Amino acid sequence: MITLKNITKTYGGAAQIQALKGINLTIDDGEIFGIIGKSGAGKSTLVRCINMLEKPTSGQVIIDDKDLTKMNESQLRAERKNIGMIFQHFNLLSLELIGASKDVIEKKVASLLDLVGLSDRAGNYPSQLSGGQKQRVGIARALASDPKILLCDEATSALDPQTTKSILELLQDINKRLGITIVVITHEMAVVKEICHRVAVIESGVIKEMGRVVDIFTNPQSQTMKDFVTSIINMELPAGIKNLGVTDQLSPDRYMLVRLRFKGAATSDPVVADIVRKFNVEVSVLYGNIDYIQDEPFGYLIVVIMGDMETQAKAFSYIKTLPIGSEVLGYVPRNH
Ligand code: ADP
Ligand code: MG
């Protein structure tokens, strides 16, 4: 387990830059934890504090009950064997296994290359490898000391979407097969959606929000997280629906326009059927958008509940008791 307690980091010099302003975070063993934020938010500083490449100005970094901020350099060097790191750009491609025999090294290299899918590339020079293959070498190198934690700082940011996908799949595979805790630093919500179990959003050195990725995607709270979520999921009303003449005015000649938000097991069809049956109303589905976060479906439906005012209100109160998110978007004319 990684615990960060009240971490602050101020860079010195004439202009004092407070890069981290009291970070509290717990990352569980075996978790893929995402830290997302815009450029300059403090992500790299934060991840470098986890392995103490950057010394926090105050606060504690505790890994498996050991406080890294209390260690001297040689203790830290030993501890860092448990923490692998990969970056966006890398140029170190040699594998250093100090003190190991040639035989042991060869076996180790072979098994690492196999793990990252590069067995047939053992004899290649770095210049003969593609960006994705180089990143695989970076991952192999980071795993050489059998770490328990892998820190990835924008590891896929320089890669095209297809290669990004394959590297993310590799990280997921490593997490599942070896049980390694992975901390993913990124400015791309698509990366978080693809592999992270939980995510924290950081802005100006402050964590604005954190939670399970499925929950965050279906119900972001902070403006910062909302901005990231809407960067890949469009929650805006489709233009066609806006043009129906939606108002926030409740009246007898209007129907209620409702958005139903689903995640996980609560799928859409039974809910709509349920409302139709229970309240003897018609429900017309105007728009639907279902996506997957890893293996969990999530998404929303925009429906019109067609009944008299009292029945619409009753139906909506009932929807509120269901394990789904919902909101009234407005009211549309009956002849919409
Ligand atoms: P991110 O990785 O989210 O882009 P960084 O952690 O690199 O953010 O930077 C956070 C803030 O700290 C920025 O304002 C940046 O300019 C500043 N900063 C980062 N590294 C240093 C450094 N070595 N010296 C001075 N300021 C730094
Ligand atoms: Mg950075």
Give the C-alpha distances (Å, rounded to integers) separating 100 from 76, 135, 245. Answer: 21, 24, 73
Does residue 39 line the site of ligand 1, with CB under 6 A? yes
Q: Which of 79-83, 231-235, 237-241, 268-272 has the highest mean pLDDT?
A: 79-83
Question: Domain residue spans in the chain?
Answer: 2-232, 239-333
User: Using one digit for the tens of pLDDT, what is the confidence trace for 8-20?
Assistant: 999 987 789 999 9
Its pTM stands at: 0.84
108 Cβ below 6 A of ligand 1: no
Q: Is the pLDDT of residue 93 over 60?
A: no
CA of 92 to the centre of ligand 1 (A): 23
Task: Compute the distance from residue 43 Cα to the ligand 1 centre, in Å.
Answer: 8
To the nearest whole percent, how much of the chain has pLDDT over 70?
A: 95
Same fold, 2-232 and 239-333: no
Q: Which amino acid is at 26?
A: T
Q: Ligand 1, closest atom to CA 47?
A: 6
Contact (Cβ atoms closer than 8 angstroms) between residue 333 and residue 244? yes
Contact 66, 132 (CB under 8 A): no
Checking if the pLDDT of 95 tops 70, the result is no
Q: Of 42, 60, 47, 50, whose CA–CA distance to 6 is shortest?
A: 60
15 alpha carbon to ligand 1 midpoint, in Å? 12
Residues 285 and 299: beta-carbon distance below 8 Å? no
Per-residue pLDDT at 325: 85
Average pLDDT over residues 121-125: 83
Distance from the alpha carbon of residue 37 to the mean position of ligand 2, in angstroms: 9
The atom of ligand 1 lying closest to the CA of 9 is: 12
Degrees to nearest 5, angle at CA 74 with 70 and 77: 95
How remote is the CA of residue 45 from the centroid of ligand 1, in Å?
6
Whether 271 and 322 have beta carbons less than 8 Å apart is answered as yes
pLDDT of res. 97:
56
Place of tokens 């190198």: 141
Token pair 């297809």: residue: 162
> Residue 152: what residue type?
C
Average pLDDT score over residue span 227-250: 84
> How many Å lie between the centroid of ligand 2 and the Cα of residue 245?
45
Place of tokens 């939606």: 246
Output the average pLDDT for the chain.
Answer: 90
End-to-end CA distance of the chain: give it in Å, rounded.
Answer: 55
* Domain boundaries 2-232, CATH class: alpha beta
User: How many angstroms is it from 14 CA to the middle of ligand 1?
Assistant: 15
Burial class (CB in 10 A: 0-12, 13-18, 19+), 94: exposed
Instruction: Please tell me if the CB atom of residue 11 comes closer than 6 angstroms to any atom of ligand 1.
Output: yes
Give the residue whose CA is nearest to atom 5 of ligand 1: 42
DSSP, collapsed to helix, strand or coil, labels residue 283 as strand
Ligand 1 atom at shortest distance from the alpha carbon of 54: 23
pLDDT score recorded for residue 98: 58
Which residue's C-alpha comes closest to atom 7 of ligand 1? 44
Identify the nearest ligand to the CA of 39 by its number: 1
Q: Closest Cα partner for 81 from 162, 150, 137? A: 150
Which position has the token pair 């095209």? 160
Pocket test for ligand 1, best of 8, 9, 11 (most atoms within 8 A of CB): 11
Atom of ligand 1 nearest to the CA of 45: 6
Q: Does CATH place domain 239-333 in 3.10.129.10?
A: no
CA–CA dist 238, 289 (Å, integer): 11
- Cβ–ligand 1 contact at 17 (below 6 Å): yes
Hey, whose CA ends up nearest to atom 21 of ligand 1?
11
Counting from 1 in the atom list of ligand 1, the atom nearest the Cα of 39 is: 4
The torsion of the CA quartet 243, 222, 328, 261, rounded to 10 degrees, works out to 100
Does the beta carbon of 40 lie inside 6 Å of ligand 1? yes
Is 88 a residue whose pLDDT tops 60?
A: yes
SS3 159: coil
Ligand 1 atom at shortest distance from the alpha carbon of 154: 2
Ligand 2 centroid vs 187 CA: distance in angstroms?
9
Nearest ligand 1 atom to the CA of 205 is 10
